[in-house]
Amino acid sequence: MRSLLFVPGDSQKKLQKGLESGADALILDLEDSVSLDAKPQARALTREFLNEAGKLARRPRLIVRVNALSTGLTEADLDAVMPGAPDAIMLPKAEGGPDLTHLAAQIAVREAESDFADGATRIIAIATETGKGIFALGSYAGASHRLAGLTWGAEDLSADVGAETNRLESGDYTDPYRMARSLTLFAAAAAQVDAIDSVFTAFRDSEGLRAECLAGRRDGFTGKMAIHPAQVAVINEVFSPSPEALASAEAIIALFDANPGLGVIGLDGEMLDRPHLMRARRLKARADRLG
């Protein structure tokens, strides 16, 4: 998934517009964008949307962001939306592998009740929204076979630590949030799941968004979350392998396949070894998934 667009679960208009956005995935939000009084309505509307959108021949992946485990609202969220067969559940304010295991058990019960295949519903965890979560990033590996991706958040984290801001005047993140971003990337690699970059909140700043997407792709993120449909096209463009990059990857793969006994190979004046091959195979796999 390149682009994951947040859509408030209590807005039928925005849910329908999400289908037209071109996003690879919609994050149907029951958490921060929905007031406490509106959550019952949002659950019902999200369930209805899952039922209808799930029938479409071509559709984005449908992910539901439930409320955090600490709120006591998660089970009511799952009761409402799991019969609609979401592709994944997004867990906010996750604080390590035990949270993931707990959520996975709750999902498994509801899959069984709905006669869904075990493991059909994946989990994406927002892993850096609390200070405690930062210290648990190494615990996701092996916590659940449902884990499909890790992402990070700077807004809730800055509130948790009491920061005045999480960005410099230049627009770059301050050091604590750069560290959280990097640690999420390493945690995803350790768990062998996708690393998804956080939102860019200045949704009218397309150049700033593009720069942040390019930096994310450079560092190893496979996609980025969006808060506005206008951000989707830029995210999709940047996180789609270019024809030139794909051709280079295919050439590297072909060269190593033709010389299985060699650990180091020269190509176009550059010495290539196994890390280059691994990067090439990952890019090729991502291109294949995108069709």
Each residue of 121-172: pLDDT tens digit? 999 999 999 999 999 999 999 999 999 999 999 999 999 999 999 999 999 9
Same domain, 253 and 285: yes
Domain end point (choices 213, 238, 263) = 238
Strand (E) or helix (H) holding 226 = strand 223-226
> Final residue of a domain: which of 220, 238, 256?
238
Q: In this structure, are 247 and 213 located in the same domain?
A: no
Same domain, 80 and 115: yes
Q: Identify whether residues 66 and 94 lie together within a single domain.
A: yes
Are residues 73 and 207 located together in one domain of the fold? Answer: yes
Residues 258, 120, single domain; the answer is no
Please give the Cα distance from 22 to 233 (Å, whole number).
7
- Domain boundary (238, 256, 279) is at 238
Percent of the chain residues past pLDDT 90, beyond the cut: 82
Provide the pLDDT for residue 279. Answer: 83
Q: What is the number of alpha carbons within 13 Å of residue 20 lying toward its C-beta?
A: 5
Nearest to 143 by CA among 91, 99, 92: 99
Q: Do 181 and 269 belong to one domain? A: no
User: Where do we find the tokens 């009740």?
Assistant: 113
41 and 89 inside one domain = yes
Q: What are phi and psi of 171, to 5 degrees?
A: 100, -15
Burial of 285 (0-12, 13-18, 19+ CB in 10 A): exposed
CATH number of the domain to which 199 belongs: 3.20.20.60
pTM of this structure: 0.90
Query: Both 149 and 283 in a single domain?
Result: no
Same domain, 9 and 106: yes
Which residues have CB under 8 Å from 67's CB, separation 6+? Answer: 30, 31, 39, 73, 74, 77, 92
Same domain flag for 149 and 263: no
CA–CA dist 39, 248 (Å, integer): 49
Domain count, the chain: 2
Q: Same structural domain for residues 143 and 230?
A: yes
**What average pLDDT does the structure give for the chain?**
94
Question: What's residue 120's pLDDT?
Answer: 96
Q: Write out the residue range of the structural domain in which residue 285 sits.
A: 243-290
Strand partners, 4: 25, 225
Q: Which residues in the chain land under pLDDT 70?
A: none
